[in-house]
Copies of this chain bind each other. A is one copy, B any other.
Amino acid sequence: MTQRRYLLSESEIPSHWYNVVADLPSPPLPPLHPGTHEPIGPEMLEPLFPMALIMQEVSADRFIAIPDPIREVLAMWRPTPLHRALGLEAALGTDCKIFYKYEGGSPAGSHKPNTAVAQAWYNAQEGVKRIATETGAGQWGSALSFAGSLYGIDVKVYMVRVSYDGKPARRSMMEAWGGSVVASPSIDTNAGRAILEKDPHSTGSLGIAISEAVEDAATRDDTKYALGSVLNHVLLHQTVIGQEAKKQLDMAGAYPDVVVGCVGGGSNFAGIAFPFIADVAAGKKLRIVAAEPASCPTLTRGHYGYDFGDTAGMTPLLPMHTLGHTFMPAPIHAGGLRYHGMSPLVSQLVHAGIVEPVAYLQNECFAAGVQFARAEGIIPAPEATHAIRAVLAEVEAAREAGEPRTILFNLCGHGHLELGAYAQYLAGDLVDHELEQSALDAAADVIKGMPAIA
């Protein structure tokens, strides 16, 4: 019988994170001070992050050792299995070999704990007792609440109001791990109060929640800030995914023609893809595809330039693809992909032509998710259905080209907390939001005046 799952032992949890910065065609551009537009140095980030993470943020070392105490905690669910999608291959009648790395077996049900544990551990090492963060759909807030519970760190989560109201189960999950959750915009910060003053019924956004969490951390001596995606050190921590996958593909005697991940801020995508960028840099031929929502098409239709990471304009300016920091994405169910910006590293790789972005509407993604669930059992998180939709396109392209391909994708989480979205899809009640040109024009206005990328 053909093997379905490739497992690694605990000792095979990668010993190092892989830092793609070492293999970029050119050095990454620095973040800029929002006022002076001058590059900011590590010391300016100190109010927000522990120094060890800041050093990772600016490192150009190809490999960074993973401390043993972090590997010991990752062993709660890592190494994760690599699945051969035998059921999906049969359902599609394809000669392609489809593999997926499954990250939904973590305590929080997604890849997010990979960096949450690392960040919480480094904070604990530097004596931090409280961390503020934001969460959209709730995956990141859950992961950090879990990680905080392991190290006795209080976690305060600013949860986008529309999710806070619509996803009570996510809130309960964070609270089960001891996290404190408030709806954002909240009355707990100046940023939140300012927005509520203008619009008492604001449903919030990830950008607003980031402003609140950053303000919380910046104004309290006992508190640091943590981000679940976008930044270099966050993506770094996810590279255990792709490193494990490479080893597991070796066991299967396979190597991918194409690697696929969904992208919102970039972290699960980086996790699966970056270790393969090293191969691209070494001359290997393979394609790397980033799948995003057509309603929030940062990479496929956004502007490549400097912009704020948050809505209120409190963060440094980041060099990235952006729809403008005031962009309000349509209320699609893949909450983790609703972000106006993008990881600078992923943006740079797209700009350099190394990563291909594609965009899909949510109904076609849910259709792919249902097809996957009925063939492979696992019900994917709405975010992950974007990767599956892109895989179906690859299978179709392979069929047209008459060449079987080996496809690897990241199944970054399960959908057990997003089943209401599936119900809406099955009832035919889901709306597709193709972004209008007028929204892009408005975005162009917002970023006018920002420093350009040469």
Contacts and interface: CB of A to CB of B under 8 A. Distances in A.
Interface of A: 1, 3-5, 7, 9-10, 68, 71-72, 75-77, 83, 87, 105-107, 109, 113, 146, 149-150, 168-173, 175-178, 370, 373-379, 414, 416-417, 419-420, 422-423, 426
A178 B374 contact: yes
Contacts of A426: 172, 175-176
B149 A374 contact: yes
Contacts of A375: 150
Contacts of A7: 7, 9
Contacts of A150: 87, 374-375, 377
A279 to B, nearest CB: 27
A5 B178 contact: no
A419 B379 contact: no
A324 to B, nearest CB: 35
4 pairs of A and B residues whose beta carbons are closest in the complex: A107-B377, A172-B423, A172-B419, A169-B419
B377 A176 contact: no
Given A9-B7, A378-B107, A422 B172 contact: yes
Given A76-B376, A109-B416, A178-B374, A171 B423 contact: yes
Contacts of A177: 373-374, 379
A352 to B, nearest CB: 38
B75 A4 contact: yes
Nearest to A74: B4
A144 to B, nearest CB: 13
Given A146-B377, A376-B76, A416 B176 contact: no
Contacts of A178: 374
A259 B62 CA distance: 47
Contacts of A113: 377
A148 B346 CA distance: 41
A107 B370 CA distance: 13
A379 B71 contact: no
A167 to B, nearest CB: 10
A435 to B, nearest CB: 28
B176 A379 contact: yes
B377 A77 contact: yes
B146 A176 contact: no
B175 A422 contact: yes
14 contacts: A4-B72, A7-B7, A76-B376, A76-B377, A77-B377, A105-B105, A109-B416, A169-B419, A175-B423, A175-B426, A176-B422, A177-B374, A177-B379, A414-B416
B107 A379 contact: yes
Given A7-B9, A107-B379, A177-B374, A172 B417 contact: no
Contacts of A172: 419-420, 422-423, 426
Nearest to A424: B172
A137 B289 CA distance: 40
A377 B374 CA distance: 28
A118 to B, nearest CB: 15
Nearest to A3: B10
B107 A168 contact: no
B173 A419 contact: yes
Contacts of A71: 1
B105 A72 contact: no
Contacts of A75: 1, 3-5
Given A146-B377, A150-B375, A172-B423, 18 more contacts: A4-B75, A5-B76, A7-B9, A76-B83, A76-B87, A77-B377, A107-B378, A149-B373, A150-B374, A150-B377, A169-B420, A170-B419, A175-B423, A175-B426, A176-B370, A176-B426, A177-B373, A177-B379
A176 B76 CA distance: 29
A123 to B, nearest CB: 17
A97 B427 CA distance: 49
The interface centre, meaning the residue of A75, A177, A377, A379 with most chain B CB atoms within 10 A of its CB, is A377
A154 to B, nearest CB: 13
A329 to B, nearest CB: 24
Contact of A173 (B149, B170, B175, B416): B416
Contacts of A374: 149-150, 177-178
Nearest to A374: B149
